[in-house]
Structure 1
Amino acid sequence: MTGRSLFIANRGEIAVRINRAARSLGMEVIQAHSEADADMLAVRLADRAVEIGPPAATKSYLDIARVVEAARASGADAVHPGYGFLAENAAFAAAVEAAGMIFVGPSAETIARMGDKVAARAAAIAAGVPTAPGSEGRIEGLAEARAVVAEIGFPVMIKAAAGGGGRGIRVVESDADLERLIPQAQTEAAAAFGDGGLYVERMVRDARHVEVQILGDGSRAVHLFERECSLQRRRQKVWEEAPAACLGAEARARVCAASVRLAEAVGYRGAGTLEFLFEPARDAFYFMEMNTRIQVEHPVTEMITGVDLVAEMIRVAFGAPLGLRQEEIAIDGHAIEVRVNAEDPSKNFMPFPGVTGAIETPEGVRFDTMLYEGYAIPPFYDSLLGKLIVHGADRDEALSRLREALAQTRIGGLKTTLPLFSALARDPEVLAGEVNTAWLESWLQRNIIQAA
């Protein structure tokens, strides 16, 4: 890749992470930034930086025409979207390629197909991947939802056909709830994704959230095993582990093989993730969605496999065949990641932008971050500061190292979510792995987190 240039159309810690991967391949790094991000770490690390507009909200990073023109004018060979913003936008991928550059990710057609959850569900069924009982396609209103519920029964989940991040989702326990919540979900989905389409699935009680990391080159795909992401607040993941301790060898082989089948069936190129609900009582998996991008939690997979996922997706984007064979990929130990946000857990996780003071992290612990001492965090963007990642020979050792790392980590000048994780890393149910996707919300109602 030496002599090639990569335009990073994102910000924060993922921009720093992509910078590191690109440099490992000998590439020139060109960093996009808003006016508010002129002093961010990713800009400081880049070979060149290009301003793409004003700081207000996220508009600069969401302006397809502006971002593509900035990348084209910079002379970049390729554009990496990171995650969030335009990462799963088919129009953006198509515009990058129309401008004569390489889009580091799947094709626009794949993004569009798998970004529509109803179409993705149909693709999963066609590939023999298990799905929860539910509507065969989109539902247009209350009457169609009632027809589905008459077959599968309550409780059900109403879900947005487009988008993600937990928006446009409602749990429905009765017909009265159905009548009340369908309009709410449609309005939220339309506002968030520009698409008010919905579908219905049977609610899976006591579910674990398991996802499989895949890499593909458009014809062949491999899996890099799975992660568990059951610790969630407001349907947002906060703590991730690899491998999933709730799975045995047979279940792991089953869900990973299904993921590869679906990735190959849709001609997937790059790094992506297939998300499942695992129902322990039935030993059953249900496909939820495919994320057609690199994910926040990718470091735990890198820690147990030794594979640089970002570098691999860049190589594949430039036309290299997949360099990994399934039999070469093995699990080494256990890894845990916690998401460190600029939020005050003692005040209902109120955002806490400010000026970063001294940063201390223990040696031997991975901290993927956008921070440096003296950095003023802009108030316009997501509160994610970085991820603290530990690795051990097994889960018990990883948990022990996490407790030690949290005790030794200091981020001056800010309130962060570190105290939350210090408490969770000592909780008996977390230590025993006895959690599900609803567990953390219930735990937070019973526990007061003191600010650091």
Structure 2
Amino acid sequence: MLETLTTQDRRLAAQPSKWVQQFSVAGFKVLIICRGPIRKEVMDVLSEMGAEYGVLLSEKDSVTYKNALAPELRQIADHNRIHRVPDYTGADKAERDARIAQIIDIAQSNGYDGIFAGYGFMAEEEALVAAIEKSGLTFVGPCSRTVRQAGMKDEAKRTALAAGVSVTPGVDNLTTRTVIALGDMAALAAEHGLSLEGDSPEAQAEGLLNQSYQRGIDLISIDQIADQAQREVQALYAEYPKNRIRIKAIGGGGGKGQRILPSPKDLGGDAQAAAAPTPELVKQVLAEVKATGVGDNKNVLLELNIETTRHQEIQVIGNGDWCLTLGGRDCSAQMHEQKLLEISTTVEMLADAIGAETDDQRLASLKGDLDILQRMEDESTRFGTAVGLDSVSTFECIVDDDRHYFMEMNTRIQVEHRVSELCYGLRFQNPDNEHDAFTINSLVEAMVVLAVHGKQLPKPTRVPRQRASVEVRLNATNDALQPHAGGLIQFWSNNAAGEIRDDQGISLRNPDTGSFVHYALAGAYDSNIALLLTTGPNRADSFAKMAEVLRKTRLEGTDLSTNLAFHYGLVHWFMARDVHAKTTTSFIQPYLTAVGLLAQMAREVDWNYAWARETGHDVELSTLKKTLVVRPLERLMAQPHLLSGWISYADAAFMRDDHDVWQFAQNPIALLNALYHFLNMDPDPKSPAANQIWAQDQAILDQALAFYTDLAGLLDTDCWAETQAILDAACDPRITDWPAVSAAHADFQLGLDLLRILPVVADQVEFETLCVTEDLNLYIPEFLLDTDTQKRAARELAPPPTQRSDEIVAASGGMFYAQQTPGDPAFVSVGQVVKVGDPLYIVEVMKMFNVIKAEFGCTIDEVLVEGDASVVKKGQPLFKVTPTEQIEVQDPIAAARARQAWTDECLDHLAGDHA
């Protein structure tokens, strides 16, 4: 029956036809081998479809980090449906092969029909898919042919070229070229007992490599590959001296296995110097994707790095015979190669925006976006057809101005798949009866139906649902977006109106007590905590709803750090400038730098001193009103991303006068009220006092708001400039008691000039120069691209842990590694003299490998962490050292005087004494 096919928000008939019933998956039993939000979603969808499921549970879910047991498992009453394994994948090829065999054995022994791999781990592993197919089980996802031709980046690039799809210039057969460079391939084949076939050196080399993978042997070493890569990079630089080069492991994804080399033009034209880091970076990317084992495919792509890259992707679905798209997603807002903000791009939304636009430059820009979207959708269907796509995949492109290049196809469900499914559904119609049909709005559901019924399904039509959607990835990071593992979530507010939350069940309450169940964020996987989505009739509306969701979200705990405030600030930045801005993958770093510089300057303001100077003439009233004004300002200063968001949010509330002094464009009382609302400090009986406006302050604010509401009615104007002019003139006949009105006005306005300090501070760091141009492109000032400035700003956003001068402590929690790859010497040893910038260790935090470098010169006296793969905590001492340079200690008295001097300068600016 239809009930088993579609989720409850898309029922089309009470009694489905026989044609519809034939596509039921009731009784289909699936083993889910992924984790996180996607596992919870798959569990829910399978339950609604009438299918059965069991889950794989890695010991890392509960062993490495206490209380990190996957919360979605609470809804599984039968523990026989939970199957334990050491981890979801192995550390090398041998362990991966063993895990694949174990997964298949679990599935067969427990009567499962199919396996769902979701995203991450081995979801795009051809060996896994092929083994499942060979075992007779059903893989819920693209078949092994599709994974091979589309999933491996080198193979995909060749397929794209054959299908007439545009690709990025570069080298896609590095290992093949390495074999050819060895010279005598006949001798190489004889040495390893392989057959030499093919009528060209390329075909012969590829044949030898394929045989070596099957035999589990290595023909070439990582060092040989790395050396060949350096030669290839130098050749690319000779042709493209102005471009940087991206090194990309073929099995990477989600930010893993990628590094970028500098361009010769940035090094005075020295191509040799630009290519010098190549061997080391090749080793890094191979280690990061765990492709260093004997018999692993160690191919690496070398591609031009398109500097103004916009990361666009198309949702594709097929059954092997037909293929269609579900619109696009803009995933350009990312950091460390990991996506942060994902925005739908649909033909309908862009057509609406074009129809409503009157500005010629914006109009041309939006039309260009529509043209690129349509071209990418066309190419994605051609590519999907070429690789026999029989499930859900994502066609990823980079866009540079009016050009686009195919980057890769992810042969799996994406983290951000709901951005597309919220905009389009799939209507499957009986070929013999146009009124006999069913609609699927869930891509997970579509994957299951395709896995079971595949070729029997007619080609669907896509059905528009929402014009726009937006998703933010709520991650465990600090304010500089550096991973922050191990925190404990102790409270999470309920869903706000319009909020779609995928959080693997973390925020579910105890069904018996209603209390929140604490959850420890494990660092064994990635930094994602949840996906938050909103929809709307246009992009601006979806952003406004997201801003409200983020405003109302409270996420609290011990040692907990998330990017919630970052998203709140970023969403307001776009809303204040333009939600159709052409964001690039290089945007977030300068944006963070601007926020860090803003925070640094704002923290130099001494708000208590400023309040005393501005209100000292009326001690009693000053004492009464101080917390009303100073408390929200201090909260802004403590949270840089909230400050950034407020500067953007309140932009229209200020204007410059003829003397270049910032004045209020609206009543500062209304602005103060908006600030409390922006900070989610509205009165709330359920909220702790620390998180809301205090009762005595609310009383004063209410009196002031009522006073100005009455005054606006009396004067018949809401214009603040007109109201001020009338009050300054003190002669309007409609006001009979001027002394009382003037006194009340003066009292209510006391101290509110401090709000004008914020645009003054923003001016000092040129915060507004990071902007959107008239044609919707981003303008990034040069100073925000300076590496030293970026580092300084990052330290403002995430100050390093406190340490003594004789030690080096862990910059973050995670997995400690003393050397680059197994077998390499340690970065540092006892007695070694370390210079600023020298590598000290690697910390793996939430699947990202971060090389930590020395911030001061020193001699290593003692190594305090022994062995690799040790879990360390932020601030934990790692090395005892003797500094080789003088450590400066700041004088607190001098610092306080400097803050007061800067505060005086700001206040003088407000008075017009800044010339």
1:143 is matched by which residue type in structure 2?
R
1:301 is matched by which residue type in structure 2?
S
The 3-state SS of whatever aligns with 1:433 is: coil
The separation in 2 between residues aligned to 1:7 and 1:230, in whole angstroms, is 34
Residues 406-432 of structure 1: per-residue CA shift (max 9 Å, x gap):
011122324321111000011145635
Report if the CA contact (8 A) 2:34-2:88 is conserved.
Answer: no
The 3-state SS of whatever aligns with 1:287 is: strand
Report if the CA contact (8 A) 2:491-2:554 is conserved.
Answer: no
Residue 299 (structure 1) aligns with: 418
Residue 466 (structure 2) aligns with: 332
Root-mean-square deviation (CA, aligned residues, Å) is: 2.6
- Which residue of 274, 279, 284 maps to 2:395? 274
Residue 109 (structure 2) aligns with: 73
Residues 108-167 of structure 1: per-residue CA shift (max 9 Å, x gap):
232123232121111111111111222363354122333333334431323224122332
The separation in 2 between residues aligned to 1:165 and 1:364, in whole angstroms, is 28
Report if the CA contact (8 A) 1:334-1:394 is conserved.
Answer: yes
Report whether the alignment pairs 1:420 with 2:566: yes
The 3-state SS of whatever aligns with 2:72 is: helix
Greater mean deviation of Cα atoms: 74-83 or 364-373: 364-373
Residue 121 (structure 1) aligns with: 157
1:262 is matched by which residue type in structure 2?
F
Deviation of 1:46 (Å): 3.8
**Equivalent residues in 2 for 1:206-285 (5 A)?**
206-243=308-345, 248-280=369-401, 283-285=402-404
Report whether the alignment pairs 1:26 with 2:50: yes
Residues 145-197 of structure 1: per-residue CA shift (max 9 Å, x gap):
33333334431323224122332331330213443232123202221231442
2:417 is matched by which residue type in structure 1?
H
Residue 110 (structure 1) aligns with: 146
**Equivalent residues in 2 for 1:125-164 (5 A)?**
125-135=161-171, 137-138=173-174, 140=178, 141=228, 142-162=230-250, 163-164=252-253
Residue 72 (structure 2) aligns with: 42
1:81 is matched by which residue type in structure 2?
A
The 3-state SS of whatever aligns with 1:248 is: helix
2:231 is matched by which residue type in structure 1?
A
The separation in 1 between residues aligned to 2:109 and 2:102, in whole angstroms, is 10
Deviation of 1:342 (Å): 2.4
Residues 84-121 of structure 1: per-residue CA shift (max 9 Å, x gap):
01101111112222332111111223212323212111
1:295 is matched by which residue type in structure 2?
Q
Deviation of 1:30 (Å): 0.7
Report whether the alignment pairs 1:203 with 2:346: no
The separation in 1 between residues aligned to 2:276 and 2:465, in whole angstroms, is 46
1:165 is matched by which residue type in structure 2?
G
**Equivalent residues in 2 for 1:314-325 (5 A)?**
314-321=448-455, 323=457, 325=459
Report if the CA contact (8 A) 1:214-1:224 is conserved.
Answer: yes
Residue 376 (structure 1) aligns with: 519
Deviation of 1:276 (Å): 0.3
The separation in 2 between residues aligned to 1:387 and 1:29, in whole angstroms, is 23
Q: Sort the Cα spacing of 1:196 and 1:169 in 2 relative to 1 into closer, same or farther, 3 A.
A: farther
Q: Sort the Cα spacing of 1:401 and 1:418 in 2 relative to 1 into closer, same or farther, 3 A.
A: same
The 3-state SS of whatever aligns with 1:357 is: strand
Deviation of 1:290 (Å): 0.6
Residues 241-272 of structure 1: per-residue CA shift (max 9 Å, x gap):
10167653322211101000000001011110
Report if the CA contact (8 A) 1:116-1:161 is conserved.
Answer: no
Residue 16 (structure 1) aligns with: 40
TM-score normalised by length of structure 2: 0.47
The separation in 1 between residues aligned to 2:552 and 2:284, in whole angstroms, is 41
Residue 6 (structure 1) aligns with: 30
Q: Sort the Cα spacing of 1:218 and 1:356 in 2 relative to 1 into closer, same or farther, 3 A.
A: farther
Residue 613 (structure 2) aligns with: none
Greater mean deviation of Cα atoms: 298-307 or 316-325: 316-325
Q: Which runs of 4+ in 1 moved over 6 A?
A: 55-61
TM-score normalised by length of structure 1: 0.92
Report whether the alignment pairs 1:171 with 2:261: yes
Q: Sort the Cα spacing of 1:421 and 1:324 in 2 relative to 1 into closer, same or farther, 3 A.
A: farther
The 3-state SS of whatever aligns with 1:158 is: strand
The 3-state SS of whatever aligns with 2:579 is: helix
The 3-state SS of whatever aligns with 1:361 is: coil
The separation in 1 between residues aligned to 2:490 and 2:88, in whole angstroms, is 21
Report if the CA contact (8 A) 1:338-1:388 is conserved.
Answer: yes
Greater mean deviation of Cα atoms: 381-390 or 208-217: 381-390
The 3-state SS of whatever aligns with 1:328 is: strand
Report if the CA contact (8 A) 2:145-2:387 is conserved.
Answer: no
- Which residue of 404, 407, 412 maps to 1:288? 407
Q: Which has the higher helix share?
A: 2
Report if the CA contact (8 A) 2:595-2:640 is conserved.
Answer: no
The 3-state SS of whatever aligns with 1:268 is: coil
Greater mean deviation of Cα atoms: 62-71 or 260-269: 62-71
Report if the CA contact (8 A) 1:189-1:196 is conserved.
Answer: no
Report whether the alignment pairs 1:363 with 2:363: no
Q: Which has the higher strand share?
A: 1
Report whether the alignment pairs 1:442 with 2:585: no
Deviation of 1:207 (Å): 1.6
2:479 is matched by which residue type in structure 1?
P
Residue 185 (structure 1) aligns with: 281
Q: Sort the Cα spacing of 1:305 and 1:21 in 2 relative to 1 into closer, same or farther, 3 A.
A: same
Greater mean deviation of Cα atoms: 61-70 or 397-406: 61-70
The 3-state SS of whatever aligns with 2:473 is: strand
Report if the CA contact (8 A) 1:186-1:197 is conserved.
Answer: no
The separation in 2 between residues aligned to 1:69 and 1:56, in whole angstroms, is 14
The 3-state SS of whatever aligns with 1:332 is: coil
Q: Sort the Cα spacing of 1:412 and 1:360 in 2 relative to 1 into closer, same or farther, 3 A.
A: farther
Query: What percent of counterpart residues are identical?
Result: 27
The separation in 2 between residues aligned to 1:40 and 1:293, in whole angstroms, is 22
Greater mean deviation of Cα atoms: 184-193 or 136-145: 136-145
Relative contact order higher in (CA < 8 Å, ≥ 6 apart): 1
1:392 is matched by which residue type in structure 2?
G
Greater mean deviation of Cα atoms: 26-35 or 398-407: 26-35
Report if the CA contact (8 A) 2:471-2:534 is conserved.
Answer: yes
Q: Sort the Cα spacing of 1:347 and 1:125 in 2 relative to 1 into closer, same or farther, 3 A.
A: closer
Q: Sort the Cα spacing of 1:419 and 1:149 in 2 relative to 1 into closer, same or farther, 3 A.
A: same
Q: Sort the Cα spacing of 1:21 and 1:197 in 2 relative to 1 into closer, same or farther, 3 A.
A: same
The separation in 2 between residues aligned to 1:328 and 1:355, in whole angstroms, is 40
Report if the CA contact (8 A) 1:33-1:43 is conserved.
Answer: no
The separation in 2 between residues aligned to 1:441 and 1:177, in whole angstroms, is 25
- Which residue of 115, 122, 137 maps to 1:86? 122
- Which residue of 519, 534, 547 maps to 1:403? 547
Deviation of 1:29 (Å): 1.6
Greater mean deviation of Cα atoms: 130-139 or 215-224: 130-139
